[in-house]
Amino acid sequence: MDGASRLVFKTRVFTVIVVLSNVLGNFSLSFGMRRVGRVVSLSPIAYVEALFNPWVAFGVALLILWTLSHMALLSWADLSYVLPVTAIGYVLVALAGWAFLNEQISTARAAGITLIVSGVVLVSATPLATFGGAEKHK
Amino acid sequence: MNPDMTKWAIVAIIVAATTAGELLQALGMRHMGEIHDFRPSALGRLAASLVRNRYIAASFGAMAISFFAFMSLVSVADLSFAVPATAASYVFETILAKYVLGEHVAWKRWAGASLVACGVGLLSF
């Protein structure tokens, strides 16, 4: 595998990890926080207590994985490339809600999904990295 | 503060902290260079140098504020409100990626980031 194909492959693998850890992490965190109840406080104790809920703890673990994989991706790819491309996670959340939770996909939501997918396709067609004057292969 | 104002105040904190955090993270990772070696020993050395990187340290501070504010938001609002409401950070981060990080943001990227931000906003309906 040459340098450019290796970078494209590495980027795809990390994009999948970033997207899945973010989607599953947010879902688990939200599910857990519903059970914990309202937490709006400047005191860290309320948040630390919330971490003892297993769903919150699992969500936090996945979001740590998300942070680390996102950081790795940013070590070779542009922020303005990584951000829109990883937004495909929102589409997965909407489709998972439709498939597993019987949520309706309204016309507005369908339009939202179409716009996000179009945005991701457009950004995917740009080079991975342009900082420092270097344009790496898309 | 009424519940709606509380929600939007938390959204503003999340957008500001996320934008600052991701920008600082990108700056910090630029200084580290591309990660090639994913063996545990190499990742250990990388972690040791990351904690000494001031951009990364500052980004963790901003991301922690964003994370705890997000925890607050999902405790008082639905996830279907919480996630789309924070979509404004896409536009701010793309602007800052151009002017602070010196990325070449071609029209496809502007269009892509704007489409994503509008699309994420529409998902809340």
Model-level pTM? 0.81
Other residues' Cβ atoms within 10 Å of the Cβ of residue A115: 21
List for chain A the helix, strand, coil content (%; round to 5). 75, 0, 25
Instruction: Please determine, for residue A51, whether its predicted confidence score (pLDDT) is greater than 70.
Output: yes
Which residues of chain A make contact with B36, given a CB cutoff of 8 A? none
Every domain of chain B and the residues it spans: 3-122
Total count of residues recorded for chain A: 138
Whether A117 shows a pLDDT value over 60: the answer reads: yes
* A53 Cβ contact partners less than 8 Å away, ≥ 6 residues apart: A32, A33, A35, A36
Query: What pLDDT does residue A137 have?
Result: 46
Q: Which carries the bigger pLDDT value, residue A46 or residue B58?
A: B58
pLDDT digits (tens, 9 = 90+) for B50-104: 888 999 999 999 999 998 898 888 888 877 778 777 788 888 899 999 999 999 9
Residue A133 has pLDDT above 80, yes or no: no
Q: What percentage of residues in chain A have a pLDDT greater than 90?
A: 33
pLDDT value at position A136?
A: 52
The pLDDT of residue A138: 46
Spans of all domains in chain A: 3-133
ipTM rounded to 2 decimals:
0.84
| Angstroms from B16 CA to nearest CA on chain A | 16
Residues B6-52 pLDDT 10s: 888 999 999 999 999 999 999 999 888 888 888 888 888 888 888 88
Q: What's the pLDDT score for residue B107?
A: 93
Alpha helices in chain B (DSSP H): 3-32, 40-51, 54-76, 79-85, 88-99, 107-122
User: Confidence class of residue A122 from pLDDT cuts 50, 70 and 90?
Assistant: very high
List chain A residues with CB under 8 Å of B109.
80-81, 84, 122-123, 126
Entry field: residues in chain B = 125
Interchain contact, B67 vs A63, CB within 8 Å = yes
Rounded to an integer, the average pLDDT of A2-8 is 81
